[in-house]
């Protein structure tokens, strides 16, 4: 079961890229972030014509997440628990039925948090605490779980080409990284990092549109795949489709994926 995450930065602007990537990469399940549309505005028909089922959790103009699956899905849950007043569409869960295992796929778009300090940063940290609580609950199921998406967190200096440029950014502040570690240290495996644990630079998943970031390879790694112990036991490989950033009118993120024996 190949499970991927892709922040498309606007589904309507990136539909050409998504529909070209899907048959090329051949994932079984995809979680999308920043679809930037209400549910009714998502081009479900076009995706379904390619052989996918679609579930969305949309929001007008901002945020929005979705699950695409070629495999049977038992249940879908929208919205991160812990705050009934939160109207931002940033979380979607699906139980996907593989050949040998049912895998819980949790897709997320974690708040950016800038400018920091400020209310947006407070919201980011509060959201991460809710995420920590939900991730602990998911681990308690003792099922294979993949929690993936745009975390808007640069975990370590090696996850940025120019770490000094990010020291005052909400993505790299010590408090942000500590909140991320509290989640990972519950028992999650960072699928991309374990494929090359001794890398001293990168790999990256995001390059800004400005300042020739792509051309200079001034990237950061903020799209992560966290695996429960049961999912980590099934891992056959993981990777980043870096070449997607070089296409025509691409997203500023690239897909990340993990392959499970499920």
d(CA 13, CA 4): 20
| Mean pLDDT confidence for 26-41 | 98
Phi/psi at 171 (nearest 5 deg)?
-70, -20
Signed CA dihedral, 152, 155, 159, 162: sign only: positive
For residue 109, what pLDDT is reported?
99
109 assigned to active site: yes
Peptide bond into 107 cis (omega under 30): no
CATH fold for the domain made of 2-260: Deoxyribonuclease I; Chain A (3.60.10)
Confirm if 207 and 219 have CB atoms less than 8 A apart.
yes
Identified catalytic residue from 150, 169, 223, 259: 150
Per-residue pLDDT band for 6 (boundaries 50, 70, 90) equals very high
Does the global pTM surpass 0.75?
yes
224 assigned to active site: no
d(CA 89, CA 72): 24
Identified catalytic residue from 28, 190, 224, 253: 253
Identified catalytic residue from 109, 151, 169, 190: 109
d(CA 120, CA 132): 18
pLDDT per residue over 100-116, tens digit each?
Answer: 999 999 999 999 999 99
Which residues are annotated binding-site positions? Answer: 7, 34, 150, 152, 252-253
pLDDT per residue over 157-186, tens digit each?
Answer: 999 999 999 999 999 999 999 999 999 999
Which residues are annotated binding-site positions for Mg(2+)? Answer: 7, 34, 150, 152, 252-253
d(CA 137, CA 69): 24
């Amino acid at each position: 079961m190949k499970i991927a995450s892709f922040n498309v930065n606007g589904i309507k602007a990136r539909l050409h890229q998504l529909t070209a990537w899907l048959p090329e990469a051949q994932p079984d399940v995809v979680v999308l972030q920043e679809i930037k549309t209400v549910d009714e505005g998502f081009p479900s028909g076009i995706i379904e014509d390619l052989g996918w089922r679609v579930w969305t959790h949309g929001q007008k103009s901002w945020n929005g997440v979705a699950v695409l699956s070629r495999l049977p899905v038992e249940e879908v849950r929208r919205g991160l628990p812990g705050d009934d007043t939160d109207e931002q569409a940033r979380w979607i869960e699906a139980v996907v039925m593989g050949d040998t295992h049912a895998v819980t796929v949790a897709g997320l778009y974690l708040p950016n948090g800038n400018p920091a300090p400020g209310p947006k940063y407070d919201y980011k940290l509060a959201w991460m605490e809710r995420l920590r609580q939900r991730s602990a609950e998911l681990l308690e199921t003792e099922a294979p779980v993949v929690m993936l998406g745009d975390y808007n967190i640069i975990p370590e200096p090696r996850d940025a080409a120019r770490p000094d440029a990010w020291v005052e950014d909400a993505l790299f502040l010590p408090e942000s990284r500590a909140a991320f570690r509290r989640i990972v240290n519950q028992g999650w495996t960072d699928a991309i990092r374990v494929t090359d644990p001794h890398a001293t630079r990168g790999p990256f998943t995001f390059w800004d549109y400005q300042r020739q970031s792509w051309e200079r390879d001034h990237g950061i790694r903020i799209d992560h795949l966290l695996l429960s112990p049961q999912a980590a036991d099934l891992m056959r490989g993981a990777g980043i489709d870096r070449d997607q950033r070089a296409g025509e009118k691409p997203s500023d993120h690239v897909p990340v994926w993990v392959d499970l024996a499920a």
